[in-house]
Structure 1
Amino acid sequence: MKVAFIGTGSMGSLLIEAFLRSGALHPNYICASNRSRQKADALANRHPGLRVTGSNAEAANGSQIVFLCVKPLDYPAVIEELSGVLDERQIVVSITSPVQIGMLEERLSSKIAKIIPSITHSALSGASLCIYGSRILPEDRLLLEQLMSSISIPVSIRETETRIASDIASCGPAFIAFFLQQWAEAASRQTGIGRAEALRLGAEMLHGTGKLLTEGGFTPEQLQRRVAVPGGVTAEGIAVLQNGLEHVFTGLIETTHRKYDEDLGKLNHLFGLQPVPDADAVEPD
């Protein structure tokens, strides 16, 4: 199975290397293109057999699956380049949340899916968010989910859930890393523990907590009750977090959705579509 990757930047190269590390793909069956040829050539040098082409159309031609790993505002130009090459048997996978499946189905004859990846796939873990267009057949979905299951847990969602699901699954690692960084730095300032030691303890704690919530049968509420004895240190700490974080996550969601709507509006303009409605006017999920 030949698989093409249009764009070998941060996420494109991450996906390629994760698929290779997992054994799901072999370099001989990967074709890549990138606006900056040097990035694609660097991948090919690390993985002999991986083919780099001089154009996106050449990479996509004859590929069963084509991953589009470019920035949202670069989509119109890339789609125009690919429209004369792709056919109805091929599967195009967009990894960019604001690019709507309908936008791509209008301009390409191929089958369209959207899969939002996460940096956690570099550790062969985390959830990948899967959304399928109207032309995707059951066997296509099975093929994509088998491929993604080699590096993640594929989770099927509705397109209207893309932004909030991405906040958690894709942006979440950065948010949690920021939280841990701030915690470790405060611990170092106030107690003298080394920052590196605090970060290591925190990272191991996050790893173990994730296992408890995914494999250990705990819900977040159960885990809190198990650790936070009434009147104890943990309970006092949770009270501080409840007061300090009361509006943080609401503000976080509002901010990411506002940026998403801005990007979607720009894409609608580039694709010649009507502007998106105000968020308050959109029917809730």
Structure 2
Amino acid sequence: MNVGFIGIGSMGSLLIDAFIGSGALKPSQITASNRTYSKAVCLADRHPGLQAVPLNRDAVVDQDVIFICVKPHEYKTVLEGIRDYVQPSQLVISITSPVLLKQLEDSLPCKIAKVIPSITNYMCSGATLCMYGSRMTDADIVRLNGLLSYISEPLIIDEAHTRIVSDLSSIGPAIMACLLQRFIDAAAEETGIPREQARMIASEMLLGTGQLLTGGGMSPEELQARVVVPGGITAQALALLNMELNGVFNRVIRATHAKYHEDLVRVSDALYGKEVNGP
């Protein structure tokens, strides 16, 4: 399988590193383009055998699968630049949530999928959220899931739920890291424990907690019940935390959804032209 990457920013380069590190792909199977060509060259230097190319169309020709890993506002230019080079047998995969499957199928004559990766995929962990276009066959789905399973658990989702599942899977690690950072900072400030020691302890705690919630089969409610002793220290801590966090995550979700819908409109306007209301 030959795989092209258009865009090797934070997530594009992470996917390449993960695919190579997991053994899913050899560097020689990957061709990568980027708006700043020197970044692609640096990536090729890090992974000898990977081919850096100056034009996006060069990352399309002779590839079986092409990942598009660019920002929403860049899609119009990227799609226009590769449209004449994409073949019906190829599979183009977008990792950008506000770009819809139908928009991609309207723009390109090939098979289309959308996947939402997570930074956790770098450790061959977490989920990859998968949505398939109408031209995908069962064999195409098996091939794509087989590739993604090297670095994640591929999960099929409804495109209508893109934003909320992305919040949980892709934004979630940053939210958990933010909460952990605040916990560590408070521990160091209030007690004088060396911050690095607090970080190591808290990080191992988070790893173990994740394992309890997955392989251990516990729900968040069950885990809390196992730790809490009525009237004890943990009960007091959770009572305070629940009071302070009341409504916080509702506001977080409303904020991410508002930005998502703003991006949806911008992408649609860019690809189809902005509608002009009549008199």
Identity percentage of aligned residues:
50
Would you say how many aligned residue pairs link Structure 1 and Structure 2? 275
- CA 1:215–1:273: 2 relative to 1, 3 Å: farther
Task: Tell me the secondary structure at the aligned position of residue 5 of structure 2.
Answer: strand
The residue number in structure 2 matching 1:190 is 190
Instruction: Supply the RMSD in Å over aligned alpha carbons.
Output: 1.0
Q: Distance in 1 between matches of 2:132 and 2:162?
A: 12
The residue number in structure 2 matching 1:144 is 144
Alignment of 1:63 with 2:63, yes or no, is: yes
Task: Tell me the secondary structure at the aligned position of residue 271 of structure 1.
Answer: helix
The residue number in structure 1 matching 2:165 is 165
- Please report how far the alpha carbon of residue 273 of structure 1 lies from its aligned counterpart in structure 2 after TM superposition: 5.6
- Please report how far the alpha carbon of residue 274 of structure 1 lies from its aligned counterpart in structure 2 after TM superposition: 6.6
| Mapping for residues 216-235 of structure 1, pairs under 5 Å | 216-235=216-235
Where do 4+ consecutive residues of structure 1 move more than 6 Å? none
Amino acid at match of 2:139: E
| Mapping for residues 9-20 of structure 1, pairs under 5 Å | 9-20=9-20
Amino acid at match of 2:111: K
Task: Tell me the secondary structure at the aligned position of residue 67 of structure 2.
Answer: strand
Task: Tell me the secondary structure at the aligned position of residue 136 of structure 1.
Answer: coil
| Mapping for residues 1-285 of structure 1, pairs under 5 Å | 1-272=1-272
Q: Distance in 2 between matches of 1:21 and 1:253?
A: 33
Task: Tell me the secondary structure at the aligned position of residue 272 of structure 2.
Answer: coil
Q: Deviations over 1:85-110 (max 9, x none)?
A: 11110000000010111110001011
- Please report how far the alpha carbon of residue 195 of structure 1 lies from its aligned counterpart in structure 2 after TM superposition: 1.5
The residue number in structure 2 matching 1:278 is none
Task: Tell me the secondary structure at the aligned position of residue 170 of structure 1.
Answer: helix
Amino acid at match of 1:187: A
Q: Distance in 2 between matches of 1:161 and 1:144?
A: 21
TM-score by length of 2: 0.97
- CA 1:197–1:87: 2 relative to 1, 3 Å: same
Amino acid at match of 1:240: L
Q: Distance in 1 between matches of 2:74 and 2:117?
A: 18
User: Which runs of 5 or more residues in structure 1 are unaligned?
Assistant: 276-285
Q: Distance in 2 between matches of 1:169 and 1:53?
A: 31
Q: Distance in 1 between matches of 2:185 and 2:24?
A: 39
User: Which runs of 5 or more residues in structure 2 are unaligned?
Assistant: none
Q: Distance in 2 between matches of 1:194 and 1:142?
A: 49
